[in-house]
Amino acid sequence: MTKQLHVQVPATSANLGSGFDAVGIALNYFNDLYFTEDEHKDSITIELEGIGQDTIPRDFNTNLVGRAMKAVAVRNRKKLPKGGTLRLVNRILPSRGMGSSSAALVGGILLGNALTDSKMSLDDMLTLATVMEGHPDNVAPALCGGLSVSIMVDGRTMTNSIPIGDDLSFVTVSPDIEVSTEKAREALPKTIDYQSAVFNVSRVSFLVSALFTKQYDRLKYGLQDRLHVPYRIRLIPGGEQVLNAADKAGALGATISGSGSTLIAFATSNEVQIMDAMIEAFQSHGVEAEGHILKCCNHGARFVE
């Protein structure tokens, strides 16, 4: 019987200000991955649609989805189908802080596991995704959905996933500028002072509790950060002005999405005005940008019938 699989993986926004490398949220904007087994082929070929057609590798051994599928096959000690077609429909912009690499890894892990007897548990898949990505803040919400708060314990990833209701919107504005994870890491200081550590511990605790109790008017305080935002915002032309524009247009708080260059604002009203104000602020600095008004995706990655 020919195997045909379809996986849908959400975009994610990590860090959320004070939650550096620990907190992330899944958003209802998706990449779709399709695998069709073909017993008449002797290799797996890749077809690309949407974003990245000219830059994403089409070789199965070097493509991130293919690498994740192969890693699962090794873990499950079972071979992938010899031949087939992997069709990737990409909507998530790369190098914009919206979890494009995590979506590829998580999608590949789900496909690989399904094609090799589904021997990996959700926790196993989460840990493998974290190892391949380097940190859990994007892969955890991509796989588990909701607001994911993650830690590493003895080499394994643990995450608590909290559902977020549709009463809260997330306005993402992505400028036509890429910020690589490597460049964003290089912008960070080697050490921080004790007061900054205490500041962030209090702020991330306040952020999660404000989201959990739906005290959205307090989000702006929980989003305050001293570990990465002050350093990375300099990599985004007009970034400070865009955040200020979101605030003036009625946002409940705004910060960098992931490591940038996307900026994300939280809102319960005036979403269109907030998005337009952020885009206009970028344009005033000679930078074009595109925006989306999104909700939390509470189910994470899943197979689609």
- pLDDT of amino acid 2: 64
- pLDDT of amino acid 180: 77
Phi/psi for 36 (5° steps) reads -125, 120
Please state, for a pLDDT cut of 90, what percent of the chain lies above it.
90
Q: Nearest to residue 173, comparing CAs of 267, 286, 264?
A: 264
Phi/psi for 215 (5° steps) reads -90, 70
Residue 301: helix, strand or coil by DSSP? coil
Phi-psi map region of 247: left, alpha, beta (phi>0 left; psi -120 to 50 alpha): alpha
| 18-37 confidence digits (pLDDT tens) | 999 999 999 999 999 999 99
Residue 246 predicted with pLDDT over 70: yes
- pLDDT of amino acid 288: 96
- In angstroms, rounded to a whole number, what is the distance separating the alpha carbons of residues 122 and 124? 5
- pLDDT of amino acid 253: 98
Please state, for a pLDDT cut of 70, what percent of the chain lies above it.
99
- pLDDT of amino acid 39: 86
Sheet with strand 253-256: strands edge to edge: 253-256, 263-267, 169-175, 289-294
Average pLDDT for 199-203 = 97
Give this prediction's pTM. 0.94
- pLDDT of amino acid 114: 96
Concatenated DSSP letters of 62-123: TSHHHHHHHHHHHHHT-PPPSSEEEEEEE-SPTTSSS-HHHHHHHHHHHHHHHHTTT---HH
Residue 1 predicted with pLDDT over 60: no
The stretches of 1-80 forming alpha helices (DSSP H) are 64-76
Strands 4-14 and 302-303: antiparallel
Q: If pLDDT is split at 50, 70 and 90, which confidence band does 178 have?
A: confident
Residue 181 predicted with pLDDT over 80: no
- Paired residues of 10 in beta bridges: 30
- In angstroms, rounded to a whole number, what is the distance separating the alpha carbons of residues 244 and 145? 29
Phi-psi map region of 258: left, alpha, beta (phi>0 left; psi -120 to 50 alpha): left
- In angstroms, rounded to a whole number, what is the distance separating the alpha carbons of residues 109 and 299? 17
The token pair that represents 184 in the structure block: 């964003």
Count CA atoms within 13 Å of residue 222 on its CB side: 23
Q: Nearest to residue 168, comparing CAs of 219, 130, 117?
A: 219
| 80-122 confidence digits (pLDDT tens) | 999 999 999 999 998 899 999 999 999 999 999 999 999 999 9
- pLDDT of amino acid 147: 97
Give me the domains of the chain, ranges plus CATH numbers.
Answer: 4-163+297-303 (3.30.230.10), 169-294 (3.30.70.890)
- pLDDT of amino acid 305: 84
| 132-165 confidence digits (pLDDT tens) | 999 899 999 999 999 999 999 999 999 999 999 9
DSSP annotation of 17: T
